[in-house]
Structure 1
């Protein structure tokens, strides 16, 4: 019998985390659900850990690739190996909430091609809550193909996290995927490159995200200043107004964003030279952008933390990032403690 759902995980060197993730999945598996882990040639004990689950449960399959080809291609490979009608593109370090698989299978139907699974965001040790949900929805909602603008505006922040995506396998395979290899957001490209799929959003969070633990976190400046906005603004299926609500076309022009990345250690002279030095900008912005890159990072961190503590205590992710920065100060740690982190 063809599985109704394949949970597809692409992983690399996550032996320290993947077992905890698999525990929350395997305990919920049903006869119509399979779990497929594609390993991009891990050099740690990931294979040993996953192999134990595969040996113990025939619904768990493990595919080890000879070389790593990047997270986008590895997820595409996982979908190609999957046998389910739908594929849940799950991550390798986050946790499913109890009852999550039953709830997702219940949401699948002939009238949908995409299910967006809402998530909560917690600290890296799961001890503190950073966001209760990534989609602000009081009840389950649906989006028709002509609702692309609303889907992007309502769900883009959740969709930047691949674990929220449950997609009809035939829909995925019918789209251009290779164009998005290297983007880190192949799933978003598949969804918005043309007419968007019939979509259902599950309002209740079914996943707990371990924030700040992504493999590409150290590349945050490149990703959120260039890769993500470039992707969002490439879609003809949504309006410029909707895209602007998700990301500025060139967010690196916003000096406050440069200051924040300097504060958390993501922007320095190397990033300026690599990404900004050759880009056109006014003389004033060039001077200030270069100056921010060399401001003492501890000073920037302290000032940003003080601002958050006084005026932006709702910016919980920023507060957490500041407190975990290698340039964290007693101010950032104090603000984080007062926020419960």
Structure 2
């Protein structure tokens, strides 16, 4: 019987997915399959994956005729899976050697509805570690239905990354899913819409997250200022305090948040007019509009300087700003290097 299906929904990741699959395929077996659903990628994704289906009988590839969006495609790939549990994995990150064995051991021991695993945050080449872990604890934690607030407070931020999630397939299929199409976080909607009988968190990094190549950067302001907080605050079964541990209800009211998104080049006067003008009064609107019109290169240098001054905790943010903003300049790169944050901590791992 297949115990675990590693489920990947992919789109236009031919440049990265080979490294992802290379980390997974050696860990497959008769009880672990890999299912890749391709949302009609126009690049060479099919040819890349074909090399792995030829290597292993435990790899399946499904190609869609049209792209249905990330939420619908993850829903579809779970439906195609045959395992008792599904590891919902990203198409550009990697798992560490022995990760599958660790997950299988936990499934055999506790048979939970959900496992959340820890992850490292690395650069685009996976050679530099910016954050050695995302969970705020090490070791193993168990959450029952009565522990919903603790689960959200402890794991909510980690759940924004789909690759940390292993979910019982039958639970996924019996819960509401289409309601969360378009949120970009269908897995969070499925998991948090009702209490889980048993969830386990493993405070051991089993995943290497690749940053600096996000396809969502241009939509970052909408996603992290609106879609993500609106989703978290939509769930009735959690306290306001637990939700606030994950994200503020209206994070866009914080000047520092708007300044960061201005530095990325995605908070603009048009964004203010479209998303904020009708929500705020004249006084608040004045400074928000002012930030939206701040010269982008000036904002970029200022934010990079502020983040480098914060110390090592800002390294991944500096890297993403320098690599991902249209306002990145030689000056802002120099500021990052002077602060020691041109890169993170080199590793041989």
Q: TM-score range by the shorter chain?
A: over 0.9
Match of 2:95 in 1: 96
Contact 2:212 2:319 in 1 (8 A): no
Equivalent-residue separation in structure 1 for 2:208 and 2:111 (angstroms) = 27
Match of 1:339 in 2: 341
Deviation at 1:331, TM superposition (A): 4.6
1:189-204 to structure 2, matched below 5 A, reads: 189-204=189-204
Q: Secondary structure at the match of 1:166?
A: strand
Match of 1:219 in 2: 219
Match of 1:144 in 2: 144
Match of 2:236 in 1: 236
Equivalent-residue separation in structure 2 for 1:332 and 1:146 (angstroms) = 48
Match of 2:346 in 1: none
Match of 1:7 in 2: 6
Match of 2:164 in 1: 164
Equivalent-residue separation in structure 1 for 2:111 and 2:194 (angstroms) = 19
Deviation at 1:138, TM superposition (A): 1.9
Match of 2:132 in 1: 132
Equivalent-residue separation in structure 1 for 2:112 and 2:134 (angstroms) = 21
Q: State the TM-score, normalized to the length of structure 1.
A: 0.96
1:208-287 to structure 2, matched below 5 A, reads: 208-279=208-279, 281-287=280-286
Q: Secondary structure at the match of 1:248?
A: coil
Equivalent-residue separation in structure 2 for 1:214 and 1:146 (angstroms) = 36
Aligned residues: 339
Q: Residues 197, 118 of structure 1: CA spacing in aligned structure 2 closer, same or farther, 3 A cutoff?
A: farther
Equivalent-residue separation in structure 2 for 1:307 and 1:298 (angstroms) = 14
Deviation at 1:283, TM superposition (A): 1.3
Deviation at 1:52, TM superposition (A): 2.2
Match of 1:315 in 2: 314
Q: Residues 237, 163 of structure 1: CA spacing in aligned structure 2 closer, same or farther, 3 A cutoff?
A: same
Match of 2:205 in 1: 205
Structure 1 unaligned blocks of 5 or more? none
Contact 2:8 2:36 in 1 (8 A): yes
Deviations 1:250-283 (A, max 9, x none): 111112111111112221122112211222x121
Contact 2:308 2:314 in 1 (8 A): no
Equivalent-residue separation in structure 2 for 1:270 and 1:315 (angstroms) = 28
Deviation at 1:190, TM superposition (A): 0.7
Match of 1:86 in 2: 85
1:153 aligns to 2:162 (yes or no): no
Structure 2 unaligned blocks of 5 or more? 344-349
Deviation at 1:330, TM superposition (A): 4.1
Q: State the TM-score, normalized to the length of structure 2.
A: 0.93
Deviations 1:215-270 (A, max 9, x none): 22321100000000000000111111110111111111112111111112221122
Equivalent-residue separation in structure 1 for 2:331 and 2:201 (angstroms) = 39
Q: Secondary structure at the match of 1:14?
A: coil
